[in-house]
Chain A
């Protein structure tokens, strides 16, 4: 089949055996790749609830049809498993080069099952898959272990000491890029799997080479021309958001007790650029180059993203940019998610402040934080408790109302009381408190367009639309930043014009139309390459009849399948919620709208999704999505 290597390997760490995992062409057509294909494999692999730390849990790594093509920003790959933080399905996306090399080795994906008795790593080449002894790699940081595993033209995907010690929010690292969220690294560690390397020179066939080439050239041109992907992200990185979020009260501060930080100018994108930036960096085939290269401990390293600036900065009242850069680097080296780490430390600080857990951690005192990362990674002293994440710490010490997680996954740096749609997204996201899987509606609510973040009207439909779009783009293996081309530049560039302000005001009133289109995707059985290039790219690579409508339907199919897996894992509608701080405490005492009006939005959300009042996908909806055989 065009675009695919045609093979998925099944590696059993308990028996040390390797075989093929078979999927059909119909499965590829229905689920494309990435997280949606991984969901299909995980659904089929489990008959009932599976614990994260059990031999039955599997790790599924998937690429996409675009992974080894020249499509812009499309080298991303996915890793899915049952999360040790949430007990639900987690899909973590990574921009490192491992996916590209896996595909060049001749594999679309890997299914890793069982648990090794010995410490091992897996080596994948075109000729062979070997499970090798990793004793000499154990105890090594992620950069050191990648150095030891070979030079260029080898894709590496490894855990650090955090994963070895089963920190519940441990990450897996490829180059300096992290599959950070949900504790995938802890599952690697539980399985005694230090990492995977892949290399090869295989290539996949492209259905329509010439038109694909032309399409890519046009796509790259449009990305470079767009103000967000062509200017803002290359010049300031994701850190560009700090200032706007702060002014809009969307910047998580002091464990989300407020939405702005008085010292934000010391940790914003402008300061990162002016005082620390050495050069830009990007993933393979990326024309945007949003990555920052900065210095930590005398070395050139990856700079902090927006989420990290929030969670390790304002959230802890840490105004020291170099401290954040150092912490970010240490988290990468130990293989720890910066978002969950920062949120957990912030929660511990507030527990200490309230006298619920005397742990010595204080907001604004960041002198101990670098030492604390190591303690978490090694589970030493207080680090052993912090390694459990906010949900479990709250169960022990209290403070559940301000333990800033959804379903166990710590929420990102966007304070949702000033972005209702983002709040709904956090509450309903399949992997827990994730901004991207949640639909990232904040991009309409002040960070791209200027739709009011205070109102709930229409947000359910838009949230669903963007959740499904993100899901589909991930399935295609493309960076989510490429979706910004959906936002018309004329609306972004002219926020003060009367017509633009009018459009921003009326957008929420057209939620019904977005909901209607979502539920009638067949009306979009066409491609508009200039607006959404992804479906056309997939069509040209695979030869499948991918249109905007079918692309969004793939996203919806994936979202529903993930929901079914989660319900099988024990998810209830009562879990589609937020910490009480966000739904009950006003962000600003003089503004009654400064809390997330979740109860207003959630039933609309279920209704438009075609789920019943308990948040369970109806048989009718599953049939519509071609999922009629997929039961709870």
Chain B
């Protein structure tokens, strides 16, 4: 399984901190997240800043990255300051 973690407004607005989903590409994983969590819009997820196993992934190519068993995908909304 893949662990998807939610941070920032994505987490607050959906009231979910993490979700376990099946292996697949990032696009497939995000689709599964949208289906499992009606509070999360696809737009919110595609806007999110993504880290796969703590590595930043960006650009259109990120959607075709294949996630394997045990991988962790973190989805963060934009931050601000303190």
Chain A residues with CB under 8 Å of chain B are 227-229, 231-233, 235-236, 238-241, 243-245, 247-248, 260, 265, 268-270, 273-274, 305-307, 413, 440, 442-443, 446-448, 450, 480-481, 484, 492-496, 498, 501
A493 and B47 contacting across the interface, CB-CB below 8 Å: yes
Q: In the docked arrangement, what's the CA distance between A445 and B11, Å?
A: 23
Closest chain-B Cβ to A513's Cβ sits at a distance in Å of 24
The residue from A270, A448, A494, A496 contacting B79, defined by CB atoms under 8 A apart: A448
Closest chain-A Cβ to B5's Cβ sits at a distance in Å of 8
Most chain B CB within 10 A, of A235, A239, A496, A498, is at: A496
B54 and A228 contacting across the interface, CB-CB below 8 Å: no
Q: Could you show 10 A-B contacts with beta carbons less than 8 Å apart?
A: A238-B80, A238-B81, A240-B79, A243-B8, A247-B74, A269-B8, A495-B49, A496-B46, A496-B47, A496-B62
Closest chain-B Cβ to A435's Cβ sits at a distance in Å of 8
Most chain B CB within 10 A, of A244, A306, A494, is at: A244
> B45-74 vs A: 1/0 string, CB under 8 Å?
011010100101011101000000000001
Considering the complex, give the chain B residue whose CB is closest to the CB of A235.
Answer: B12
The residue from B7, B11, B79 contacting A447, defined by CB atoms under 8 A apart: B79
A228 and B80 contacting across the interface, CB-CB below 8 Å: yes
Q: In the docked arrangement, what's the CA distance between A496 and B74, Å?
A: 15
B81 and A448 contacting across the interface, CB-CB below 8 Å: yes
The residue from B9, B54, B59, B80 contacting A448, defined by CB atoms under 8 A apart: B80
Q: In the docked arrangement, what's the CA distance between A305 and B27, Å?
A: 35
On chain A, the residues within 8 Å of B17 by CB distance are 265, 270, 274
B78 and A492 contacting across the interface, CB-CB below 8 Å: yes
Considering the complex, give the chain A residue whose CB is closest to the CB of B63.
Answer: A496
Considering the complex, give the chain B residue whose CB is closest to the CB of A228.
Answer: B80
> B11-41 vs A: 1/0 string, CB under 8 Å?
1100001000000000000000000000000
On chain A, the residues within 8 Å of B58 by CB distance are 495-496, 501
Q: In the docked arrangement, what's the CA distance between A231 and B12, Å?
A: 10
A247 and B76 contacting across the interface, CB-CB below 8 Å: yes
Q: A247-B56, A495-B47 are in contact. Are A232 and B8 (CB under 8 A)?
A: yes
Considering the complex, give the chain B residue whose CB is closest to the CB of A446.
Answer: B79
On chain A, the residues within 8 Å of B54 by CB distance are 247, 260
Tell me how many residues of B have a C-beta within 8 Å of chain A. 25
Considering the complex, give the chain B residue whose CB is closest to the CB of A264.
Answer: B7
A232 and B59 contacting across the interface, CB-CB below 8 Å: no
Closest chain-B Cβ to A181's Cβ sits at a distance in Å of 14
Which 4 pairs show the lowest CB-CB distances between chains A and B?
Answer: A238-B82, A306-B82, A228-B80, A244-B79
Given A240-B8, A270-B11, list of 4 further CB < 8 A pairs? A241-B80, A247-B49, A269-B8, A270-B12
The residue from A232, A413, A495 contacting B80, defined by CB atoms under 8 A apart: A232
Closest chain-B Cβ to A165's Cβ sits at a distance in Å of 29
B12 and A448 contacting across the interface, CB-CB below 8 Å: no
Chain B residues with CB under 8 Å of chain A are 5, 7-9, 11-12, 17, 46-47, 49, 51, 54, 56, 58-60, 62, 74, 76-82
Closest chain-B Cβ to A582's Cβ sits at a distance in Å of 20
Closest chain-B Cβ to A397's Cβ sits at a distance in Å of 31
Closest chain-B Cβ to A606's Cβ sits at a distance in Å of 26
The residue from B5, B60, B77 contacting A232, defined by CB atoms under 8 A apart: B77
On chain B, the residues within 8 Å of A227 by CB distance are 9, 78
Q: In the docked arrangement, what's the CA distance between A241 and B56, Å?
A: 16
On chain B, the residues within 8 Å of A240 by CB distance are 8, 79-80
Considering the complex, give the chain B residue whose CB is closest to the CB of A245.
Answer: B79
Q: In the docked arrangement, what's the CA distance between A268 and B6, Å?
A: 12
On chain B, the residues within 8 Å of A498 by CB distance are 59-60
On chain A, the residues within 8 Å of B11 by CB distance are 270
A450 and B49 contacting across the interface, CB-CB below 8 Å: yes
Q: In the docked arrangement, what's the CA distance between A411 and B41, Å?
A: 39
Q: In the docked arrangement, what's the CA distance between A584 and B11, Å?
A: 37
The residue from A231, A239, A494 contacting B9, defined by CB atoms under 8 A apart: A231
Closest chain-A Cβ to B47's Cβ sits at a distance in Å of 6
Considering the complex, give the chain B residue whose CB is closest to the CB of A494.
Answer: B47
On chain B, the residues within 8 Å of A243 by CB distance are 7-8, 74, 76, 79
Q: In the docked arrangement, what's the CA distance between A480 and B60, Å?
A: 35
Closest chain-B Cβ to A586's Cβ sits at a distance in Å of 17
Closest chain-B Cβ to A246's Cβ sits at a distance in Å of 9
Q: A235-B9, A236-B12 are in contact. Are A495 and B82 (CB under 8 A)?
A: no
A447 and B8 contacting across the interface, CB-CB below 8 Å: no
The residue from A244, A273, A448 contacting B76, defined by CB atoms under 8 A apart: A244
Considering the complex, give the chain B residue whose CB is closest to the CB of A307.
Answer: B82
B7 and A244 contacting across the interface, CB-CB below 8 Å: yes
B9 and A481 contacting across the interface, CB-CB below 8 Å: no
Q: In the docked arrangement, what's the CA distance between A239 and B82, Å?
A: 8
Most chain B CB within 10 A, of A228, A240, A269, is at: A240
Closest chain-A Cβ to B20's Cβ sits at a distance in Å of 16
Closest chain-A Cβ to B41's Cβ sits at a distance in Å of 13
Q: A494-B47, A495-B47, A501-B58 are in contact. Are A305 and B7 (CB under 8 A)?
A: no
On chain A, the residues within 8 Å of B76 by CB distance are 243-244, 247
Q: In the docked arrangement, what's the CA distance between A307 and B82, Å?
A: 7
Most chain A CB within 10 A, of B11, B47, B62, B80, is at: B80
The residue from A235, A236, A450, A484 contacting B81, defined by CB atoms under 8 A apart: A484
Closest chain-B Cβ to A466's Cβ sits at a distance in Å of 11
Closest chain-A Cβ to B55's Cβ sits at a distance in Å of 9
Considering the complex, give the chain A residue whose CB is closest to the CB of B17.
Answer: A270
